[in-house]
Structure 1
Amino acid sequence: METTILRIKKIISEKLDVNCNMDEVTPETSLLEDGIGLDSISIVNFIVMVEKEFDISFSEEDLNMDMFSNLTKICDAIDAKQN
């Protein structure tokens, strides 16, 4: 999971239009307004980037707001798709 978190942190800090660096993002960091502050368009962009990075595809049923509550939960979702 640690490698997955590092890859996600890299996406957030280098590819999304957010004002944070990798060191500011922890496994407990929320991707939503109470954390990084992704809006609906940024979340869609993030999902697309994650799907490309990990060569997975999320269905509508897979996606829910709880999944974005922190990096650990998005990592769990990615791991579930890869297995």
Structure 2
Amino acid sequence: MEDLLVGAGLLNEDRISYDAVKGFRVLPTATLNFELLDRALTMLVLMSIHDIMKLDLLRPIATEDFRGYEAGDPISDHDVALSYVLE
């Protein structure tokens, strides 16, 4: 996990220590890159909403013509549904 966080630039490598018994640990003075954390959180939220759009119950209903869907039609393509919600 530490390698993933360091590789993504979310954690500074010089603030991680390794103990043979306890394993890896982050030193209390570790600094986080909050800009990248915000990006990572944004991507996780976007992926979650994208997957939610696969549920029939939560798919949006077009209020006007949108990418081949007429007003009143449920948007069955989850990618188009996400675009609809974001627009």
For normalisation by structure 1, the TM-score amounts to 0.27
Task: Give the number of the structure whose residues are more often helix, by fraction.
Answer: 1
The structure that is strand-richer by fraction is 2
Larger Rg: 2
